Structure 1
Amino acid sequence: MLYEGVLQKMRTEMGSPIQYFLLFEHDFMNMNQALNKSLKIEFIKFQCLNCGENRPIYRQGFCKTCFYETPAAGDWIMKPELSTAHLGKEDRDLEYEKRVQLQPHIVYLANSSSVKVGVTRKTQVPTRWIDQGAHEAIEIVEVPNRYLAGITEVALKDHVSDKTSWRKMLTNDIKDEDLVEWRNKLKNHVPNEAADYFIDSNSETNIEFPVLQYPEKVKSLNLNKNPTFEGVLKGVKGQYLIFEDQTVFNVRGSEGYYVGIDVN
């Protein structure tokens, strides 16, 4: 069966295991149903997620022009501490920034390859954890805007990592951690502005991924270098497809690539 369209990050539904979907303009794929089947992926063209033009993708699914112009790629996306909508100060589009920044945000701990701290909008829990390939996660602070979440993350980064080792995550080289204990250890490092928003009453969330076989050593598929690839799908974790020959494909890292996918 042939699917065709522009890649965007896979949609997910909580379950045991997580359900994954690739959405296209007129169709969708349930990736769980494609396990143990052969997938042929063919790169056809670029399609910027903002302007829709066939221009090389620069970052985050955008062509270079759009990346530096669209409010959806402002510096505050990757660095929440740079948020200024709570001050009424515009970066690129104040109305857009108010909608995204001035809503409840969560500072969390997630264990994908080791314990890390991160920030997400409350509406993106547990989606954000799933996208990072975390097998366990816990909320530690819920604040009313993105700026407060950002300065909390910055303060906690002195005591816990903010990075995920994607190779360790994909080879399942992980160990369970007591995230409640981690949260309690970090409590005194939460900045004063966010201290009243500390959460100490919830337990960790556990996540199961649809993986039949983990790779021992990952090989990353780059559609720029290899525009056609074929392999048997053995798992989905984070935003990666895992194939039998130990190739992994970062769907989110390939947003804006228009592809054809043949399933047999």
Structure 2
Amino acid sequence: MQYKGVLTKMQTEIADPIQYYLVFESDFIHMNQLLDKTLTISLEGYQCLACGLEKKIFRQGFCYDDFYKQPQVGDWVMRPELSKAHLGIEDRDLEYEKKVQLQPHIVYLANSSNVKVGVTRKSQVPTRWIDQGAHEAIEIVEVPNRYLAGITEVALKEHVADKTNWRKMLKNDIEDEKLIDYRERLKPFIPEEAKEYFIETNTETALHFPVLQYPTKVKSLNLEKTPHYTGVLKGIKGQYLIFEDDTVFNIRNNEGTVVALSIQ
């Protein structure tokens, strides 16, 4: 079987294990069904996710021009504390920013390589945790806008990590933690504006990934350096494909890349 299309992050479905789908313009591939099969990934070109032109990707699936003008990659996306839509202040497109920022957001703890704090829209739970390769997660606060979530994250990351060690995550070098205990220890550090939104009673969410074999020494596939790669798919975790020879391929980091996918 052969497919061709522009890479975008895999769609996911909560199940045991997580179900993954790679979506091309005219194809919908259930990736779990490809475990233990030989895949060949070939670089065919690039296509900006915004303008649709055949332009080199700069970051996050966008060409250089669109990265600096599209609202979905404004600074407030990576730094929620910079959100200003609740004040009626525009960054790039106030209508878009209101739509995204002025909705319920979750500040959470997730454990993928270590316990970290993060922010996501409520509608993106548990998708965000799946994309990070977290095997357990729990909500801390649910606030009405992105700004409040952002200032809460800034306050809490003084006391807990806010980054994932992606290599440890992929090697499954993890330990289970009592996230409820972490949440209680962090409660006093929540900013005054967000204290009323603390979630008093909830439980951890456990996530299981479709992995038959974890890598022992992670090797990241760079299609610019290796435009044709063939390997046996052994697992999927986060947004990574894991192959038998310890090669891993980050789908999300390659958004906007046009590839040909051959399955044997």
Q: Same fold (TM over 0.5)?
A: yes
SS at the partner of 2:242?
strand
What is the DSSP-based 3-state SS (H/G/I as helix, E as strand, rest coil) of the residue aligned with 1:44?
Answer: strand
SS at match of 2:58: strand
Structure 2 CA distance for aligned equivalents of residues 54 and 220 of structure 1: 25
Q: CA deviation at 1:208?
A: 0.2
Shift of 1:54: 1.0
1:212 matched to 2:212? The reply is yes
Q: Distance in 1 between matches of 2:52 and 2:259?
A: 14
Match of 1:73 in 2: 73
| 1:63 paired residue number | 63
1:200 and 1:177 mapped to 2: Cα distance? 18
Question: 2: distance between equivalents of 1:224 and 1:202?
Answer: 45
CA RMSD in angstroms comes to 0.4
Q: Deviations over 1:204-249 (max 9, x none)?
A: 0000000000000100001111111000000000000000000000
Secondary structure of the 1:57 match is coil
Distance (Å, rounded) in 1 between the aligned partners of 2:217 and 2:193 = 44
> What amino acid maps onto 1:49 in structure 2?
L
Question: Which residue does 1:99 correspond to in 2?
Answer: 99
Partner residue in 2 for 1:260 = 260
1:165 aligns with 2:137: no
The equivalent of 1:90 in structure 2 is: 90
- Distance in 1, matches of 2:128 and 2:66, equals 24
Equivalent residue number for residue 108 of structure 2: 108
Distance across 2 between alignment mates of 1:2 and 1:84: 46
Question: Which residue of 1 is the match for residue 13 of structure 2?
Answer: 13
Q: Distance in 1 between matches of 2:224 and 2:160?
A: 35
Extract unaligned runs of 5+ from structure 1: none
- Share of identical aligned residues, percent? 69
Is 1:185 equivalent to 2:185 in the alignment?
yes
Q: Is the partner of 2:241 in helix, strand or coil?
A: strand
Q: Deviations over 1:22-44 (max 9, x none)?
A: 00111111110000000000110
2:244 paired residue number: 244
For residues 148-167 of structure 1, give each alpha carbon's deviation from its aligned partner in whole angstroms, at most 9, with x where no partner exists. 00000000000000000000
Structure 1: how far apart are the matches of 2:244 and 2:217? Answer: 11
1:47 is matched with 47
Cα distance between partner residues in 1 of 2:229 and 2:192? 51
- Where 1:210 maps in the other structure, the secondary structure is coil
Aligned-partner SS, 1:55: coil
User: In structure 1, what is the Cα distance between the partners aligned to 2:153 and 2:225?
Assistant: 36
Shift of 1:135: 0.1
Equivalence for 1:35: 35
Counterpart of 2:262 in 1: which secondary structure?
strand
Amino acid at match of 2:134: A
Question: What residue identity is the alignment partner of 2:131?
Answer: D
1:85-164 to 2 correspondences below 5 Å: 85-164=85-164
* Corresponding residue for residue 226 of structure 2: 226
Aligned residues: 264
Structure 1 runs (4+) deviating above 3 angstroms are none
Aligned to 1:58, what secondary structure does the other structure show?
A: coil
How much does 1:176 deviate? 0.2
Please give the alpha-carbon distance, in whole angstroms, between the structure 2 residues aligned to 1:64 and 1:145. 29
Could you list the per-position Cα deviations for residues 67-119 of structure 1 after superposition, in whole angstroms to 9, with x for gaps in the alignment?
00100110000000000000000000000000000000000000000000000
Q: Name stretches of at least 5 consecutive residues in structure 2 with no aligned partner.
A: none
Tell me the alpha carbon deviations over residues 189-208 of structure 1, each in whole angstroms, 9 at most, x when there is no partner. 00000000000210000000
